[in-house]
Structure 1
């Protein structure tokens, strides 16, 4: 399974179509994380100010029709992620049938991501 962070409004925007976030048009791929721990670090690094509720899609890589490539973060991984960690990048829309679970990010009083439920 791979993980993708998305605000609820974006996930719900067009439920009849495959999910295609802005990063697909901007970067050419959908940014994903390799595991829950890395996902929470990514949330803290890049999504603290994102609209809430903030969701995490748990995606079955085998069910994607788009190509998924594991690559190093450019220019470097977020602080707290070990150097050399590979991130899954999905080079096309995410098929909704590939999403196995949708989890919500939990937050502490300081605004740090604490877990997924």
Structure 2
């Protein structure tokens, strides 16, 4: 299983789980999909580019891609709501010769059974995403 990752506001995720309701992020209706990444190296950059100004606690959901019932399509980086992905796309390639990364987009909800870990994300007072304790352990798991 190759894990996929999703940054989620803890309050929204907790409410969906408690209510047994399907999870959709606040930008789903506008974007048409749930933003994921397959490369953990992008997580803090994604958090800081798109969610730094969003107050509250965030979690990282580690997903088993084989347990997702909705379609996942790898596509170029896309805006999250009204925030363009230009900075992420430009920083994704090490050199001009390297292809820009593709990101998994989930066209449906995240199945609760597909979540293999929920990791807290450390942020500073200004909202900057600093680290994700426990991430290395989930990457090393078979």
Bin the TM-score by the shorter chain. Answer: 0.7 to 0.9
Q: Bigger CA drift: 91-100 or 7-16?
A: 7-16
Aligned position for 2:136? none
TM-score, length basis structure 1 = 0.87
TM-score, length basis structure 2 = 0.73
CA contact (8 A) 2:4 2:65 kept: yes
Q: CA deviation at 1:99?
A: 0.8
Residue among 47, 54, 58 paired with 1:43: 47
Alpha-carbon separation, structure 2, partners of 1:6 and 1:109: 18
Aligned position for 2:10? 8
Deviation per residue, 1:52-110 (Å, 9 max, x gap): 21111111111000000111113645153226111110000110110111111113566
Larger radius of gyration: 2
Say if 1:109 and 1:73 are closer, same or farther in 2 by CA, change over 3 A.
same
RMSD: 1.9
Q: Which has the higher strand share?
A: 1
Report the 3-state secondary structure (helix = DSSP H, G, I; strand = E; otherwise coil) of the residue aligned with 1:10.
Answer: helix
Aligned position for 1:30? 34
Query: Unpaired runs of 5+ in structure 1?
Result: none
Number of matched residues? Answer: 117
Query: Unpaired runs of 5+ in structure 2?
Result: 79-84, 94-98, 134-142
Q: Bigger CA drift: 78-87 or 94-103?
A: 78-87
